[in-house]
């Protein structure tokens, strides 16, 4: 029974006792954050909040903290445990190449099931109840200023939809948007994300078009690699640390179509943060998660499709030759991410439901709502990681490790040096490349128990021997790396060292009481009168 839209999801939250309506007047500037932060940090992340009386926005409603606990994350994906999603993925991947007729017959339901998840385009939907081309303003919505030193108001839970100019495939990514004025906003796709790659591909095309009058596919590779390539100039400029608003000199003006859906059913919202391979459409992932296809409608002013039941849809363009200072913004690292140059989104049309509900989140010091989304990603991706790293037993991204700072993994070690092989595999696996510190332990260590990890890891290592450094891309939010987006990473091999790894000393046993003595004391326990 998939949720068809945000409203069904809100009703389900309310039925489950997981929603609080707030009727007292609250300011979207800072005040919503302070309230939500207290709720996030109380036991169990307490509940989702529906603010119904927002200062300066009479009649508006704002939903926050919808994913902010293990229970709500399970409700969002309609499972008892997230392992069920992992299990469904595993079942899918288990399909062997059919050997005979019977095997082929067995495969049919699986293929039919896959077909059930593809998005469907429908002629219209609730997101078209109100269509505004003129007199529109991003400031109509109760967009938050989250933290005191934020550069302004930020849309924090937008599903940003772009199209790959090469393949025509759509991508949905969650990239925050700083509101500059009624019609413009920042487009914070970090350079390693799929939206940013679509933008660069548009730049390459526009550059090739202006230099050679034809798209890059028609230009000989030797020519397109010339250093005077204006697309390179723009990419290089994006690599700079910061600056004011700039028009990128020498880059042909051009536009890239972008649509943004805010307030979708929870499977779509969640799919926008999932670190999926670039060529897998998130609409399909959402269909898989909710076991029902996503219904899409065409946009009014751009050639993109958006979820038909979205509360709010922003349509518009990113100009290829324009970058603008974005940030600072109080980020999920617990620190402000610094200002940097990002593309600018110009709104051409806003469509929305009647009385739209604005869905948002705040990030800051963990634990917060996004931490629970990250935990869901961790559970769901484990079986996928095992495809390329079969020795993997379990992983833990502790919430205070803010996704990219710390990953603890246990492995079944079968040959010398395997822990280092696993580190390198993780550093080359999609967005796991950002992991600043990877700790590898043997399979007998429970990675979910950070106390046990601390005890065993720091007992087992000879730091100079067991720490591996490497250089590579780091998260844009890393404020300590030597350069933005580029820095070092560290792996700790805390597995037991073998003679074949040059460790000749004996390895001590872990202290464990024998079963006989334990049973004896169990029997006597009451008599001892200690409790």
Residues with a known catalytic role: 331
| Residue 178 lies near Mn ion (rule: CB under 5 A) | no
Q: Taking Cα atoms as reference points, which of 133, 153, 150, 131 lies closest to residue 141?
A: 153
Q: Which stretch of DSSP H or E encloses residue 428?
A: none
Binding track over 146-165 against ligand FMN, x by CB under 6 A: ----------x---------
Considering CB distances under 5 to 8 angstroms, the limit depending on partner class, which of Mn ion, ligand FMN, none binds residue 366? Answer: none
Q: In the bound complex, what is the minimum distance in angstroms from residue 174's beta carbon to ligand FMN?
A: 3
Q: Taking Cα atoms as reference points, which of 16, 26, 88 lies closest to residue 60?
A: 26
As a whole number of angstroms, the distance between CA 469 and CA 436 comes to 10
Q: Taking Cα atoms as reference points, which of 363, 313, 372 lies closest to residue 5?
A: 313
| Residue 171 lies near Mn ion (rule: CB under 5 A) | yes
Residue closer to ligand FMN, measured from CB, 262 or 273: 273
| Residue 143 lies near ligand FMN (rule: CB under 6 A) | no
As a whole number of angstroms, the distance between CA 454 and CA 456 comes to 6
Q: In the bound complex, what is the minimum distance in angstroms from residue 306's beta carbon to Mn ion?
A: 16
| Residue 194 lies near Mn ion (rule: CB under 5 A) | yes
| Residue 145 lies near ligand FMN (rule: CB under 6 A) | no
As a whole number of angstroms, the distance between CA 423 and CA 466 comes to 12
| Residue 485 lies near ligand FMN (rule: CB under 6 A) | no
Considering CB distances under 5 to 8 angstroms, the limit depending on partner class, which of ligand FMN, Mn ion, none binds residue 321? Answer: none
Q: In the bound complex, what is the minimum distance in angstroms from residue 67's beta carbon to Mn ion?
A: 19
| Residue 128 lies near ligand FMN (rule: CB under 6 A) | no
Binding ligand FMN (rule: CB under 6 A), the pick from 150, 321, 340, 370 is 370
Residue closer to Mn ion, measured from CB, 119 or 230: 119
Residue closer to Mn ion, measured from CB, 175 or 342: 175
Considering CB distances under 5 to 8 angstroms, the limit depending on partner class, which of ligand FMN, Mn ion, none binds residue 431? Answer: ligand FMN
Instruction: Give, as ranges, the residues between 368 and 407 that touch Mn ion (CB under 5 A).
Output: none
Binding ligand FMN (rule: CB under 6 A), the pick from 171, 271, 348, 435 is 171
Location of structure tokens 């550093």: 427
Report the greatest alpha carbon distance in the chain: 92
Q: Tell me the H-state helices in 341-446.
A: 369-388, 418-427
Residue closer to Mn ion, measured from CB, 194 or 393: 194
Degrees to nearest 5, angle at CA 492 with 479 and 485: 25
Q: What is the CA radius of gyration of the chain?
A: 25
Q: Environment class of residue 52 by beta-carbon count within 10 Å: exposed (0-12), middle (13-18) or buried (19+)?
A: middle
Residue closer to ligand FMN, measured from CB, 176 or 317: 176
Residue closer to ligand FMN, measured from CB, 117 or 283: 283
- The angle, 0 to 180 degrees and rounded to 10, between the axes of the packed helices 369-388 and 83-93 is 30
| Residue 350 lies near ligand FMN (rule: CB under 6 A) | no
Considering CB distances under 5 to 8 angstroms, the limit depending on partner class, which of ligand FMN, Mn ion, none binds residue 190? Answer: ligand FMN
Q: Taking Cα atoms as reference points, which of 206, 489, 207, 162 lies closest to residue 317?
A: 162
Q: Which two tokens stand for residue 200?
A: 């660069």
Residue closer to ligand FMN, measured from CB, 419 or 434: 434
Q: Taking Cα atoms as reference points, which of 9, 30, 21, 23 lies closest to residue 58?
A: 23
Single out the segment in contact with ligand FMN by CB under 6 A; choices: 192-200, 239-247, 380-388, 408-416: 192-200
254 to 177, 205, 305, 320, 456: CA distances (angstroms):
21, 10, 21, 5, 56
473 to 229, 396, 430, 481, 503: CA distances (angstroms):
24, 21, 11, 10, 33
Considering CB distances under 5 to 8 angstroms, the limit depending on partner class, which of ligand FMN, Mn ion, none binds residue 86? Answer: none
What lies within 8 Å, CB to CB, of 139 at 6+ separation is 153, 179, 181, 182
| Residue 13 lies near ligand FMN (rule: CB under 6 A) | no
Instruction: Give, as ranges, the residues between 221 and 280 that touch ligand FMN (CB under 6 A).
Output: 272-275
Single out the segment in contact with ligand FMN by CB under 6 A; choices: 115-123, 191-199, 411-419, 485-493: 191-199
**Size of site (CB under 6 A) for ligand FMN:** 21
Total residue count of the chain as it appears in this document: 531
| Residue 363 lies near ligand FMN (rule: CB under 6 A) | yes
**Size of site (CB under 5 A) for Mn ion:** 3
| Residue 435 lies near ligand FMN (rule: CB under 6 A) | no
Q: In the bound complex, what is the minimum distance in angstroms from residue 170's beta carbon to Mn ion?
A: 9
Q: In the bound complex, what is the minimum distance in angstroms from residue 171's beta carbon to ligand FMN?
A: 5
As a whole number of angstroms, the distance between CA 291 and CA 160 comes to 22
Residue closer to Mn ion, measured from CB, 191 or 365: 191
Binding ligand FMN (rule: CB under 6 A), the pick from 175, 283, 345, 381 is 175
Binding ligand FMN (rule: CB under 6 A), the pick from 291, 431, 446, 481 is 431
| Residue 174 lies near ligand FMN (rule: CB under 6 A) | yes
Q: Which two tokens stand for residue 372?
A: 């629970």
Q: Tell me the H-state helices in 116-245.
A: 194-212, 221-224, 230-238
As a whole number of angstroms, the distance between CA 146 and CA 245 comes to 23
Phi-psi region of 88 (alpha: psi -120 to 50; beta: other; left: phi over 0): alpha
Contact residues toward Mn ion (CB under 5 A) are 171, 194, 276
Contact residues toward ligand FMN (CB under 6 A) are 156, 171, 173-176, 188-190, 193-195, 272-275, 361, 363, 370, 373, 431
């Amino acid at each position: 029974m998939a949720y068809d839209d945000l409203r069904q999801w809100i009703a389900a939250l309310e039925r489950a006792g997981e929603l609080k309506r707030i009727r007292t007047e609250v300011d979207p500037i800072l005040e919503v954050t302070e309230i939500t932060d207290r709720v996030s940090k109380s036991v169990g992340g307490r509940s989702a909040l529906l603010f119904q009386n927002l200062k300066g926005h009479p009649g508006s409603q704002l939903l926050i903290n919808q994913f902010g606990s293990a229970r709500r994350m399970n409700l969002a994906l309609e499972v008892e445990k997230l392992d069920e999603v992992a299990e469904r993925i595993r079942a899918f991947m288990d399909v062997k190449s059919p050997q005979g007729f019977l095997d082929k017959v067995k495969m049919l339901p699986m293929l039919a099931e896959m077909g059930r998840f593809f998005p469907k385009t429908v002629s219209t939907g609730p997101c078209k109840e109100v269509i505004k081309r003129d007199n529109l303003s991003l400031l109509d919505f109760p967009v938050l200023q989250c933290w005191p030193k934020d550069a302004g108001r930020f849309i924090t839970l937008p599903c940003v939809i772009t199209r790959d100019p090469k393949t025509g495939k759509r991508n949905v990514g969650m990239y925050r948007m700083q509101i500059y004025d009624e019609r413009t906003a920042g487009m914070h796709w970090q350079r390693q994300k799929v939206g940013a790659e679509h933008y660069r591909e548009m730049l390459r095309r526009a550059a090739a078009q202006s230099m050679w009058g034809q798209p890059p596919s028609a230009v000989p590779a030797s020519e397109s690699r010339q250093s005077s390539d204006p697309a390179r100039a723009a990419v290089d400029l994006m690599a700079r640390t910061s600056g004011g608003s700039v028009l990128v000199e020498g880059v042909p003006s051009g536009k890239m179509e972008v649509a943004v859906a805010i307030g979708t059913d929870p499977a779509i919202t969640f799919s926008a943060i999932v670190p999926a391979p670039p060529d897998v459409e998130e609409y399909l992932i959402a269909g898989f998660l909710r076991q029902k296809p996503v219904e899409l409608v065409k946009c009014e002013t751009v050639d993109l499709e958006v979820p038909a039941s979205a509360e709010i849809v922003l349509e518009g363009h990113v100009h290829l030759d324009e970058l603008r200072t974005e940030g600072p913004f109080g980020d999920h690292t617990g620190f402000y991410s610094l200002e940097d140059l990002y593309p600018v989104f110009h709104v051409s049309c806003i469509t929305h439901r009647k009385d739209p509900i604005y869905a948002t989140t705040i990030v800051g010091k963990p634990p917060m709502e996004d931490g629970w989304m990250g935990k869901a990603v961790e559970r769901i991706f484990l079986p996928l990681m095992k495809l390329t790293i079969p020795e993997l037993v379990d992983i833990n991204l502790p919430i205070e490790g803010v996704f990219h700072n710390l990953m603890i993994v246990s492995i079944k070690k079968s040959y010398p040096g395997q822990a280092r092989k696993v580190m390198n595999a993780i550093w080359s696996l999609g967005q796991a490349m950002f992991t600043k510190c990877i700790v590898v332990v043997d399979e007998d260590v429970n990675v979910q128990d950070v106390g046990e990890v601390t005890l065993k890891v720091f007992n087992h290592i000879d730091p100079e021997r067991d720490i591996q450094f490497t250089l590579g891309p780091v998260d844009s939010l890393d404020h300590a790396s030597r350069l933005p987006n580029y820095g070092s990473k560290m792996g700790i091999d805390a597995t037991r060292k073998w003679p074949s790894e040059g460790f000749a000393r004996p390895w001590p046993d872990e202290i464990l009481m024998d079963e006989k003595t334990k049973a004896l004391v169990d029997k006597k326990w009451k008599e001892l009168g200690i409790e």
